[in-house]
A and B are shown apart, each in its own frame.
Chain A
Amino acid sequence: MALADNVTKQVSVFLENKSGRLAEVCEVLGEADVNIRALCIADTSDFGILRLIVNDPARATRVLQERGFGVGEADVLALIVPDRPGGLASVLALLRDAGVNVEYMYAFFITVDGDAVVLFRIDDAAIADTVQMLEENNIRILTADEVYAL
């Protein structure tokens, strides 16, 4: 499978700590008919970064930029993780043993065939090798299209 297919595009939005910014992002996306599939927010006292998995990242980026938001795209891996105690630990152990640093991660609510879906952000330079290593260890990676369609 081509590497590009395995990599999901995440939309990151810079938000100042002003009230209403988050609501406005969701309004803009709603008006553009973009559906949010997963999200998380990292925050400091001055600003936050909103990370979104949407069904159409290119359109989301464009409409948000037009509305004056600071937007970036990041490559994340959507991994299928067994939905049982120890499921996540086993995947993380694989990454640790391969020397891969996890910047951050967050989960979908939706399950796929009874398993959990967890998004991982790792160092861009490590993506290709990590994908290969995970496939060798029978960890299923959702393709970008599969993710957007969840």
Chain B
Amino acid sequence: MIWDPENECMDPEQRREVQLHRLRATVARLAANVPYYRDRFAEAGINPLDIKSLDDLQYLPFTAKDGMRETYPTGMFAVPMSEVVRIHSSSGTTGVPIVAGYTRTEIEIWAHTIARTICLGGGTSADILQIAYGYGLFTGGLGLHYGGELVGCTVIPMSAGNTKRQLMMMRDLKTTMLACTPSYALTLADEAVDEGIDPGELSLKSGLFGAEVWSTGSRDAIEQMLNLKAHDIYGLTEIIGPGVSAECGCQCGLHVCDDHFIPEIIDPDTGRVLPAGERGELVFTCITKQAFPVIRFRTRDITRLNYDKCECGRTSVRMDRVTGRSDDMLIIRGVNVFPGQIENVLVNMEETLPHYQLVITKEGRLDVLEVQVEVSPQIFADTIKGLESVEAKIQDELAGALGIQCRVKLVEPKTIERSIGKAKRVIDLREE
């Protein structure tokens, strides 16, 4: 079933008119209310009232995570805080997180985009939806939650973790739709095997998996082990959270809610807009958001766009599954991590930056991040407990800054490769 046929199956020409109208309104409101955008438009010589067609979108300035650092925490908000009813947050490129705000209307819009996602995944009000995305500042849990309730599913707000309890509820309450990260889905599948639970005993029909890159190999494994149809879903905090796009039953690209978010593909080096079908960096412009609309946000995700009508009947533009990024952001167990954040912690602790290296592996299904730090005159203690407490202190500071636990290993001086030019600080040993 299609959640919103009027908008999802709209004639493309008509949709472009709707997009243009909404784009003009958003740009005008930003120029009036957000100094950051007013200044950026002025720099680029743009008169917001002068946007004549969607082709003019390419002349608007980009917004990137770095730009958000300048306006932390709420400098980009377009409404007063009294109208903001929700805050969510995710990692910024260094120590400064991204703060997203939502008005009451936006919470409803968001719920509708998620409702589309759920229906794209074959869901209906008869579904029992188990949400194993984290609840809290992360947009995954609460995002899926409000959309699930809107559709009328029976929502089980498990959040992440507690794997044995997840399986128990899944079996006993007869969950039909699972929403979590792909690596957690595999963890649940493994636990089911360990407990001798046959997938045939479960009632799962479909899954909504996102927040990290996953291969077709993982998809096949998840579908086979959990006996469900696995749908890729996509979103990011800066745009709204999950609900930006999702796969339909054809599994031939993710339908974008393009009446709310206009996608573009650009060359990541030059910023030039690329034609449909060409791979490049995905950029989004929000045209219905109120508190925190962003213009031409550079996602750093690499994909391409397809404007053909889909067999499912929807005319919304599709994007390919994302398989890589154009920056150095890592995703560890579904959480965004920038090497810059780690560098920030080390510099603040030791006053000089020690030589460090990140080694990422998979243990079982889950990602493990190990931060290797070279011993130096600043980082040296004569006793075991002294060195162990250095490791523990770095570990605590990192956990606080990144939001996830990593391992810290002290290594001998000069064991980390020195390089000319950009240091190769990350060794990603995960195979996919």
State whether B383 touches A104 (Cβ < 8 A): yes
Chain B residues lying within 8 Å of A49, measured Cβ to Cβ, are: 382-384, 387
State whether B383 touches A14 (Cβ < 8 A): no
From A68, which residue of chain B is reached at the shortest CB distance? B414
Question: Chain A contact residues: over half helix, strand or loop, or mixed?
Answer: strand
State whether A42 touches B409 (Cβ < 8 A): no
Stretch of A69-77, A85-93, A141-149 contacting B (4+ beta carbons < 8 Å): A69-77
Chain A residues lying within 8 Å of B410, measured Cβ to Cβ, are: 14, 46-47
Q: Is B125 interfacial (CB 8 A cutoff)?
A: no
State whether B377 touches A69 (Cβ < 8 A): no
Question: Chain B contact residues: over half helix, strand or loop, or mixed?
Answer: loop
Q: Is B376 interfacial (CB 8 A cutoff)?
A: yes
A15-B412, A46-B409, A47-B410 in contact; A70/B376 too (CB < 8 A)? Answer: yes
From B377, which residue of chain A is reached at the shortest CB distance? A72
State whether A68 touches B412 (Cβ < 8 A): yes
Q: Is A12 interfacial (CB 8 A cutoff)?
A: yes
Q: Is A5 interfacial (CB 8 A cutoff)?
A: no
Q: For the side of the interface on A, what is the size category?
A: 20 to 34
Q: Is B388 interfacial (CB 8 A cutoff)?
A: yes
List A24-66 residues whose CB lies under 8 Å from chain B.
42-44, 46-47, 49, 51
Chain B residues lying within 8 Å of A71, measured Cβ to Cβ, are: 380
A14-B375, A16-B412, A70-B412 in contact; A44/B388 too (CB < 8 A)? Answer: yes
A68-B414, A69-B412 in contact; A42/B383 too (CB < 8 A)? Answer: yes
Report how far A12 CA is from B387 CA in the complex, Å: 12
A16-B412, A70-B375, A70-B413 in contact; A42/B380 too (CB < 8 A)? Answer: no
Chain A residues lying within 8 Å of B414, measured Cβ to Cβ, are: 68
From B408, which residue of chain A is reached at the shortest CB distance? A46
Q: Is A140 interfacial (CB 8 A cutoff)?
A: no
From B383, which residue of chain A is reached at the shortest CB distance? A103
**In the complex, which of the residues A44, A46, A74 contacts B382, with contact meaning CB atoms closer than 8 Å?**
A74
Chain B residues lying within 8 Å of A70, measured Cβ to Cβ, are: 374-376, 380, 412-413
Q: Is B415 interfacial (CB 8 A cutoff)?
A: yes
What 1/0 flags go to B371-415 for Cβ under 8 Å of A?
Answer: 000111100111110011000000000000000000001111111
From A14, which residue of chain B is reached at the shortest CB distance? B375
**In the complex, which of the residues B376, B377, B387, B413 contacts A47, with contact meaning CB atoms closer than 8 Å?**
B387
Least CB distance from A115 to B in Å reads 26
Report how far A72 CA is from B382 CA in the complex, Å: 7
Chain A residues lying within 8 Å of B413, measured Cβ to Cβ, are: 68-70
Report how far A51 CA is from B412 CA in the complex, Å: 16
Chain B residues lying within 8 Å of A103, measured Cβ to Cβ, are: 382-383
Chain B residues lying within 8 Å of A44, measured Cβ to Cβ, are: 384, 388
Report how far A42 CA is from B409 CA in the complex, Å: 17
Chain A residues lying within 8 Å of B409, measured Cβ to Cβ, are: 46
State whether A42 touches B384 (Cβ < 8 A): yes
Chain A residues lying within 8 Å of B381, measured Cβ to Cβ, are: 72
Least CB distance from A21 to B in Å reads 8
Chain B residues lying within 8 Å of A74, measured Cβ to Cβ, are: 382
Report how far A16 CA is from B409 CA in the complex, Å: 10
Report how far A99 CA is from B412 CA in the complex, Å: 35
Chain A residues lying within 8 Å of B415, measured Cβ to Cβ, are: 16, 68
Report how far A35 CA is from B126 CA in the complex, Å: 81
Least CB distance from B209 to A in Å reads 35
Chain A residues lying within 8 Å of B376, measured Cβ to Cβ, are: 70
Chain A residues lying within 8 Å of B374, measured Cβ to Cβ, are: 70
From B391, which residue of chain A is reached at the shortest CB distance? A46
Interface centre among A14, A42, A72 (most CB of B within 10 A): A14
From A121, which residue of chain B is reached at the shortest CB distance? B382
Chain B residues lying within 8 Å of A69, measured Cβ to Cβ, are: 412-413
Chain A residues lying within 8 Å of B383, measured Cβ to Cβ, are: 42, 49, 103-104, 121
Chain A residues lying within 8 Å of B387, measured Cβ to Cβ, are: 14, 47, 49
Interface centre among A42, A47, A51, A69 (most CB of B within 10 A): A47
From B411, which residue of chain A is reached at the shortest CB distance? A16
Least CB distance from B1 to A in Å reads 55
From B407, which residue of chain A is reached at the shortest CB distance? A46
Chain A residues lying within 8 Å of B375, measured Cβ to Cβ, are: 14, 70
Report how far A103 CA is from B383 CA in the complex, Å: 8
- Given contacts A42-B384, A46-B410, A49-B382, list 5 more A-B pairs with CB under 8 A: A14-B380, A14-B412, A47-B410, A70-B376, A72-B380
7 examples of A-B residue contacts, CB within 8 angstroms: A14-B387, A15-B412, A21-B412, A49-B382, A68-B412, A68-B414, A72-B380
B residues sitting closer than 8 Å to A (CB atoms) are 374-377, 380-384, 387-388, 409-415
A residues sitting closer than 8 Å to B (CB atoms) are 12, 14-16, 21, 42-44, 46-47, 49, 51, 68-72, 74, 103-104, 121
Task: Give the 9 A-B CB pairs with smallest separation, nearest first.
Answer: A70-B375, A68-B414, A74-B382, A72-B380, A14-B375, A12-B382, A42-B384, A70-B413, A16-B412
